[in-house]
Structure 1
Amino acid sequence: MDKSTRKSKKSTSAASDDSKTLPNFANEDISQQVDPATATITVTAVEVTELTQEEQSDRLFLERKVERAFFEAGKALMELRDRKLYRSTHKTFEEYCRVRPWRWRSHRFGHNRRQSYLLMDAAVIFDNLEQKCDRNDHILPTNEWQIRPLSKLDPDIQPEAWEQAVESANGKVPSHRIVKDAVQRIMERTQVPNTYQLGEVCQILAKDNAELRGKGGCWGIVSAVNEFSCTLEMWDGEYTIGLQHLKSFNYLPAEREQMRVICDRISRVYSNSLEETVKNLLQSLGKLNRAYLTALEEKLLTVLESEIRD
């Protein structure tokens, strides 16, 4: 056999030996694999460094600063208003609040005169709570919306309502709803008896109550006397109003009857007319602060009534 043949056989033999050993290596690797269900994962522990007493003090200070942001804004607005620091660019504080491009503008309200006054009122309430509530609790409001219901109470009663709300929230900062419920309970407890009578003519006092928006100054006739509210019949329907939002005109029986007739006439026209100009006229009659119509008002209402009949 020549040398070339022997070399070929030797190469073939080597390849054959390699093919035999490769599966063994593969089998060895498979046998060494660990079952994932029983695998052990090593996690390196990270040591959490405790805050020093000074760091704890700094953290508390910064957290309080964040929580007081709305309070600081309200105080700043009061100083801007009281010192008239807007006078170089705006005629009134209201115009200043409306035009000024506040960087922290609220997405919910925008920043206008109403929001400015809400923040200022909240700052006064916050200051009252901070002075009179138990300092050991350290539970104070974190935004204006939480304490807005407290504006309905006298300053002396506000801390009591806030502490009741904190208790209802299990020692946490209470929500707007919880504070509102606490305020309602106190108002019902301290409310004077309902002395209004059926047929009495009352004026609505909105007092920044969003639920009475557009009804401030309107009058209505008491159709139901409840424990802490009255149901008023008005030219555009019936409304149940809390006693704190009502003021009696103290009309005589004859005047009450006259207002009843006027209410019924306005209501009939309103329910049968969809024109905006007519509704605007009726709305103005719905804010009368006297027990009669002027000659011109009587003439206009009569014309509208004739149009409906026709």
Structure 2
Amino acid sequence: MLQIDSEFKNLIPPLSSEEKLQLEANLKEFGCLDPLIVWQGENILLDGHNRYEICTREQIPYKIVEIEIGDREAAICWIANHQLGRRNITPEVASYLRGKRYLNLKGDRTGNLKQNSPNGNYFRSVDAAKSLAEQYKVTDRTIRNDALFTEALDTLEQSLGDEVKHSILARNSGLTKKDVLSLAKVADEEGQEVAQKLLSMKQNKSDIVQQIKDKKPVPNPHFVGEVCRITPKADPDLKPFSGCWCIVYQINLHSCGIKTWKVDFETVKPENLERTYGVEENAASRNCDRLRCLANKVHSDYEATYTAVLEVLGKVKNPSSLTQRQERLLTFLEGEY
């Protein structure tokens, strides 16, 4: 009998009724083809909670794979990374998982103290937000905002039930992140009853601004795959990337998700993106991937000269058609690593 850890289970987005019925039908017809992942020595399930529940109930045979996990933080890290690697998660789920990782790292002082000095006299404190930002290719501020969102969701789950949390993660609640934060504050300071009333008001709200938006929606002028140039204007997070070219990977109602040579930005306003012309999108995307791969390795190597080269390549006029010298520089760096 496998053990179910409630904290681990809550890190995994629940299936909709339709998805769960389809999973059950597939398991009955084809069997459990993918093994369940279990924490070795602890017998705690890390991945496959829905399959395990259905297989146990319907007496469908299943296999398990045990993996070595050092502690709970490592288990949470594994689950979060495993879920973040899936294509069908919502931006809210990604934010929640990154926030969970940050809160666990931040709460574990020993996890933030690494790398002895040569003489062993002191530890260097590692900024958890910066470390996770580099790993997930977002900004430090995004990680800290993720943590606030995670804490707010957990508060709402305790106060209003897990259905509210799940509906927010599935993008079915109609609540913005700002709504979630304010609702959690009310739940924490004024109690469940007041929070429930506020939730009902927010979900039924149709103010003048929303009516105008519904009647005259302004279409987002960008599209997925488009190559743009970053113009920071009043956004301080974008200033270090002024003039960099980027790839639009997600279109939101009033913002875009973009990928640069170094990090991703989940919500960039359309006015911060300048259209480029004469750029072949697929070739630019391939070159972006090449630079991203190198950026990770060069950063780990702390090679300032190579980083400077990547920064220059991140601002070239036509990222889809590098000059001969630019291509030689990029090929040389790829050969170095």
TM-score tier after normalising by the smaller chain length: 0.3 to 0.5
TM-score of the superposed pair, with normalisation by structure 2: 0.34
TM-score of the superposed pair, with normalisation by structure 1: 0.36
Q: If each structure's strand is expressed as a fraction of its own residues, which one has the higher value?
A: 2
